[in-house]
Amino acid sequence: MTPHSHPIDGQIVVLAGAKASVPLERLSELLPTVQADLGPRIDNYRREYERIHETPERSVFLVETGHWKTVGDRLGFERRERDAVRRAHEEQFRRIGREEGRTEEFENALEIRDAVLIGTAD
């Protein structure tokens, strides 16, 4: 992935930005920051969490609820910024569920866990 890229589709960024309490421009800055933090940790995620979906571009993990607070705190995000990033990852997760014909399964997963997408393309 390039330094300014992330595993969230453009339409999803716009959707999440519209629902978030942060400006779209700020969300567009936060997502690459998160990717830069999570990308080098992908092997840890593969060992510790359920990988529910994978493509050459991204891996999708289900993690414990509250995981985004840990990530956001590590990166110095405010609560609204953290919530906006979480929402973007959730919305992308839902889209993947729809595309895979697994909508109900993915929705049920979000009731008890958080979704994390990590870009894997170089």
Domain regions of the chain by residue span: 10-119
47, pLDDT greater than 50: yes
pLDDT at position 16, please? 86
Instruction: Give the pLDDT band (50/70/90) at residue 3.
Output: very low
Amino acid in the structure at residue 83: D
122, pLDDT greater than 70: no
Mean pLDDT of the residues in the chain: 93
Structure token pair of residue 29 = 């800055």
* pLDDT above 90 coverage of the chain, percent: 86
Q: How far is CA 35 from CA 7, 32, 40, 66, 98, in A?
A: 8, 5, 9, 18, 23
Q: How far is CA 64 from CA 17, 22, 69, 105, in A?
A: 24, 24, 11, 17
Cβ–Cβ < 8 Å for 30, 77: yes
pLDDT at position 21, please? 82
